[in-house]
């Protein structure tokens, strides 16, 4: 095989985005299909990316006063049905356990599609007085929602996520929590660590979480103009507290229902990273979460092989204190092949070192985001790489931010709306009267949904569909 072949095997990003996506997932060794319908395996390289993402988010969740815990995988049917909207929303996706060992169970158990029900039943046990509140708990767990199609990371029957579940003594605290997670935890994580810019806002009633009072969301633009819901934060009001009987005595010794919230992000965001930053040569990973930040490829000739390898090992040792480093000393591949493979895997910086570089105490360094080669003196390597890691992180974010801004289009004309959603895609900012029937009709016509409400302004407009006066500026888009 020649060196270019490695990359040629993936589909064109511009012409066949969906195939490009699955090709990159496989070629970069992130995940694989399995014989279990709808279920993927996250391979070591993909899982290492997820571990770094988890660490970034977990730090932020803990820094805002939340603690991790672990709740049962199984939810008895009688518990799941207690909140009516909730069960209606999730029942079509539930996997049911009916037998344990050789016995048929008296009651079916749902494999958790989300944990409000089981956690609510425990908070009901744990909360008695206002002194027990707030409860601020997060869980890292696997989730099952039945799917017929598998799209690795984007749509799988089983996926990994974190779900926060909090209980508060009044409405205001619950709303503050919902917004804190949205803005101080999720937005920071997604924009700063994953370099993915987002629009944030409330969901319409049609699109909110089943059982919530309202849902806030973070919405990101993907490379094909479609939109990915990147995370959600739900104010559940007293709905779940009533359904699961979470009551407490307040400071005045009066009994009240608690106010609860829940919020989640998942392995879907791995898909987001691929689709926001990737290009024709494969992945481009933000340094903060990249499993390997610097790869060293020695250029080996028979005569100087040992010296160059020793130098490469020395560099690996020195750089490992500050960066996640891999030395690619495989014998069976050419340097060209290796360059292509590490570009496919999105490693932020590649260092090449051969006998001539060595003689001059320098290395050849290549940034994955820019592609051009730079000579770097060994003595300046750590300083340069530290600076580059920040630069690359910022550059990925700013590139995506510019593309996001260029792809928010305003229109108040429905024909233009339909043209834009078909041709350029992206976000369309427009007005909506608040009537779910208009929302449904637009979805039927165009496959576009309200991704989120925009911040309200004094300016009023007319509903893009029915023409009625509207005070709801909204963002539409076609979603994953």
Is residue 255 part of the contact set for a copy of itself (CB under 8 A)? no
Q: What is the DSSP letter of 156?
A: -
Is residue 67 part of the contact set for a copy of itself (CB under 8 A)? yes
Partnered with residue 173 across adjacent β-strands are: none
What x/- string results for residues 5 through 44 when contact with a copy of itself is judged by CB under 8 A?
---------------------------x-xxx--xxxxxx
**Measured distance CA(227)–CA(112) in Å, rounded:** 26
Shortest distance, position 251 Cβ to a copy of itself, whole Å: 13
Nearest Cα to 452, choosing from 436, 429, 426, 435? 429
Is residue 128 part of the contact set for a copy of itself (CB under 8 A)? no
Stretch that binds a copy of itself, among 136-144, 275-283, 302-310, 414-422 (CB under 8 A): 136-144
**Measured distance CA(372)–CA(378) in Å, rounded:** 18
**Measured distance CA(346)–CA(340) in Å, rounded:** 10
Measured in residues, the chain has a length of 480
Binding residue for a copy of itself (CB under 8 A) from 11, 26, 64, 72?
A: 72
Shortest distance, position 232 Cβ to a copy of itself, whole Å: 22
Please provide the distance, in angstroms rounded to a whole number, between the alpha carbons at the two ends of the chain: 36
Nearest Cα to 301, choosing from 268, 327, 334? 334
CB-CB contact of 474 with 452 (8 Å): yes
Query: Structure tokens of 67?
Result: 């603690």
Q: What is the DSSP letter of 209?
A: -
Query: Structure tokens of 108?
Result: 């079916």
Stretch that binds a copy of itself, among 141-149, 279-287, 316-324, 434-442 (CB under 8 A): 141-149
Is residue 122 part of the contact set for a copy of itself (CB under 8 A)? yes
CB-nearer residue toward a copy of itself: 74 or 480:
74
Is residue 48 part of the contact set for a copy of itself (CB under 8 A)? yes
CB-nearer residue toward a copy of itself: 129 or 405:
129
Distance of CA 236 to the CA centre of its chain: 22
Stretch that binds a copy of itself, among 5-13, 47-55, 252-260, 438-446 (CB under 8 A): 47-55
Q: What are phi and psi of 46, to 5 degrees?
A: -70, -35
Is residue 65 part of the contact set for a copy of itself (CB under 8 A)? no
Shortest distance, position 146 Cβ to a copy of itself, whole Å: 4
Nearest Cα to 417, choosing from 376, 441, 446? 446
CB-nearer residue toward a copy of itself: 304 or 334:
334
Identify whether 23 is preceded by a cis peptide bond (ω within 30 of 0): no
Q: Where do we find the tokens 């903060």?
A: 288
Binding residue for a copy of itself (CB under 8 A) from 96, 206, 336, 383?
A: 96
# residues contacting a copy of itself (CB under 8 A):
56
Binding residue for a copy of itself (CB under 8 A) from 332, 423, 455, 458?
A: 332
CB-nearer residue toward a copy of itself: 98 or 457:
98
Binding residue for a copy of itself (CB under 8 A) from 21, 47, 240, 259?
A: 47
**Measured distance CA(480)–CA(478) in Å, rounded:** 7
Is residue 76 part of the contact set for a copy of itself (CB under 8 A)? yes
Binding residue for a copy of itself (CB under 8 A) from 63, 69, 84, 375?
A: 69
Is residue 51 part of the contact set for a copy of itself (CB under 8 A)? yes
Strands 67-68 and 135-144: parallel
Binding residue for a copy of itself (CB under 8 A) from 49, 79, 212, 381?
A: 79
Identify whether 134 is preceded by a cis peptide bond (ω within 30 of 0): yes
Query: DSSP string spanning 360-407?
Result: TTEEEEEETTT--EEEEEGGGHHHHHHHHHHHHHHHHHHHHHHHHHHT
CB-nearer residue toward a copy of itself: 40 or 56:
40
Is residue 479 part of the contact set for a copy of itself (CB under 8 A)? no
Shortest distance, position 269 Cβ to a copy of itself, whole Å: 15
Shortest distance, position 261 Cβ to a copy of itself, whole Å: 17
Burial category of 49 from C-beta neighbours within 10 Å (exposed 0-12, middle 13-18, buried 19 and up): buried
CB-nearer residue toward a copy of itself: 43 or 429:
43
Nearest Cα to 262, choosing from 143, 427, 150? 143
Is residue 109 part of the contact set for a copy of itself (CB under 8 A)? yes
Stretch that binds a copy of itself, among 105-113, 178-186, 317-325, 358-366 (CB under 8 A): 105-113
Partnered with residue 470 across adjacent β-strands are: 461
Shortest distance, position 350 Cβ to a copy of itself, whole Å: 21
Contacts (CB under 8 A) with a copy of itself, residues 267-306: none
Interface contacts to a copy of itself, rule CB under 8 A: 32, 34-36, 39-44, 46-48, 50-51, 67-76, 79, 91-102, 108-109, 111, 118, 121-122, 125-126, 131, 137, 141-142, 144, 146, 157-158, 160, 332
């Amino acid at each position: 095989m020649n060196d270019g072949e490695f990359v040629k095997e993936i589909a064109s990003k511009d012409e066949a985005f969906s195939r490009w996506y699955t090709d990159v997932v496989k070629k970069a060794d992130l995940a694989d299909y399995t014989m279990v319908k709808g279920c993927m395996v996250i391979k070591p390289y993909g899982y290492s990316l997820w571990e770094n993402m988890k660490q970034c988010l977990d730090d932020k969740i803990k820094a805002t006063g939340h603690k991790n815990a672990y709740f049962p995988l199984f939810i008895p049917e009688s518990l799941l049905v207690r909140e009516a909207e909730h069960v209606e929303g999730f029942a079509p996706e539930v996997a049911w356990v009916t037998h344990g060992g050789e016995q048929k169970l008296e009651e079916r158990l749902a494999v958790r599609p989300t944990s409000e029900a089981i956690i609510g039943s425990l908070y009901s046990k744990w909360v008695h007085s206002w002194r027990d509140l707030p409860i601020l708990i997060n869980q890292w767990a696997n989730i099952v929602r039945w799917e017929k199609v598998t799209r690795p990371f984007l749509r799988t029957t089983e996926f990994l996520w974190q779900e926060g579940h909090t209980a508060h003594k009044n409405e205001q605290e619950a709303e503050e929590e919902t917004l804190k997670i949205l803005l101080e935890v999720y937005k920071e994580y997604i924009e700063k660590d994953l370099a993915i810019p987002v629009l944030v806002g409330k969901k319409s009633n049609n699109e909110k979480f089943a059982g919530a009072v309202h849902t806030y969301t973070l919405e990101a633009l993907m490379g094909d103009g479609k939109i990915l819901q990147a995370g959600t934060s739900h104010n559940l009001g007293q709905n779940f507290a009533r359904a699961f009987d979470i009551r407490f005595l307040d400071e005045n010794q009066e009994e009240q229902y608690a106010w609860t919230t829940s919020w989640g992000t998942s392995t879907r965001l791995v898909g987001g990273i691929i689709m926001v930053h990737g290009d024709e040569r494969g992945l481009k990973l933000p340094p903060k979460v990249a499993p390997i930040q610097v790869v060293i490829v020695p250029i080996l000739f028979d005569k100087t092989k040992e010296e160059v390898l020793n130098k490469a090992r020395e560099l690996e040792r020195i750089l490992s204190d500050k960066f996640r480093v891999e030395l690619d000393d495989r014998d069976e591949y050419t340097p060209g092949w290796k360059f292509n493979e590490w570009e496919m895997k999105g490693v932020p910086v590649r260092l090449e070192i051969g006998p001539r570089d060595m003689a001059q105490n320098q290395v050849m360094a290549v940034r994955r985001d820019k592609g051009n080669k730079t000579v770097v003196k060994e003595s300046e390597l750590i300083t340069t790489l530290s600076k580059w890691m920040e630069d690359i992180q910022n550059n990925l974010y700013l590139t995506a931010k510019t593309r996001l801004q260029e792809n928010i289009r305003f229109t108040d004309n429905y024909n233009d709306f339909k043209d834009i959603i078909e041709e350029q895609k992206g976000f369309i900012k427009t007005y909506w009267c608040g009537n779910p029937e208009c929302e449904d009709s637009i979805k039927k016509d165009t496959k576009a949904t309200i991704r989120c409400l925009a911040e309200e302004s004094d300016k009023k407009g007319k509903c893009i569909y029915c023409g009625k006066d509207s005070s709801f500026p909204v963002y539409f888009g076609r979603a994953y």
